[in-house]
Amino acid sequence: MQYKIDGKGGRIIYRCHNDFGALDGRDIKNLIPKIADFGLATRLDKLDSQDGVVGKQLGIYPIQPDFYRAPEVILGCGWDFKADIWNFGVLLWNILGSQELFKQVYDADGKYEARSHLAEMIALLGPPPKELLARSKTMSDQNWPQPVLNDSGKLCNNAQEFFGGPFFDAEGEFRHNELIPSRSLENTTPLLEQEEQEAFLSFVRQMLTWLPEERKTARELMDHQFLKLGG
């Protein structure tokens, strides 16, 4: 993502569809924020259980931009607001280092490739827990109320069909080990001092978890030491 630095305030300003022109404070002052994408909003009522067990209150259809897609979405386990926490964790690499955390989400033709994305998650987070794979298997045995088209134009009845699974065999082993890169979460971090880096890794590990219920809430994350550094 391209950006420039405001010469007066030192703020990072990201490029939109227009070319950059001279920054004029009068124009910025008069900008009116607009909330959009209401047509993509999905209402989710409160879960009946406290342990994250898949139920009818979870979203089931694919969501999220490719780079930020949470594992429970790809695996078709059902999702809720914890998918937004995953989004924020991945977004921190863009905010702090102007880079993507996940590097291999597209194939040679520029199409989203879920198996490569999962392979990179395995490299960074370790293998997914059996519990998550069991949820995925249970949901893959059921069809969505309405089939949807994937990027290839195929009409799909569940997430496994939509994303090109199955990705794991009956023993829970990943079917595409050759795609797992030699990376770790530690060597992906933006340029930070040691104390900041340790706090950063602690912070993102509370968001980037395979199991959605293990992710901290936004309120809990507000108390993390990383957000208090330099304050």
User: Could you please report the per-residue DSSP string of 146-203?
Assistant: S-EE-TTS-EESSHHHHHT---B-TTS-BS-GGG--S--SGGG--S--HHHHHHHHHH
12 three-state secondary structure: strand
With a threshold of 0.75, does the pTM exceed it? Answer: yes
pLDDT score of 226 = 92
- 3-class SS at 138? helix
Task: Report if residue 32 sits inside a domain.
Answer: no
Q: Could you tell me which of 77, 101, 84 has the C-alpha nearest to residue 165?
A: 77
CATH number, domain at 207?
1.10.510.10
Domains of the chain: total: 1
121 in any annotated domain = yes
* Pair 124, 186: CB distance under 8 Å: no
In a domain, 221, yes or no: yes
pLDDT of 138: 93
Query: Given this model, what pLDDT does residue 189 score?
Result: 85
**Residue 115, H or E segment:** helix 114-125
Residue 21 lies in a domain: no
Say how far apart CA 95 and CA 43 lie, in whole Å.
Answer: 28
Residue 155, number of CB atoms within 10 A of its CB = 10
* Residues in contact with 8: Cβ distance below 8 Å, sequence separation at least 6, in sequence order: 23
Q: Which domain holds residue 95?
A: 63-228
Q: Is there a domain that residue 19 lies in?
A: no
Mean pLDDT for back-to-back runs of 10 residues, the chain (231 residues)? 58 55 59 60 57 62 94 96 96 90 94 97 97 95 93 94 96 97 90 87 97 96 88 60
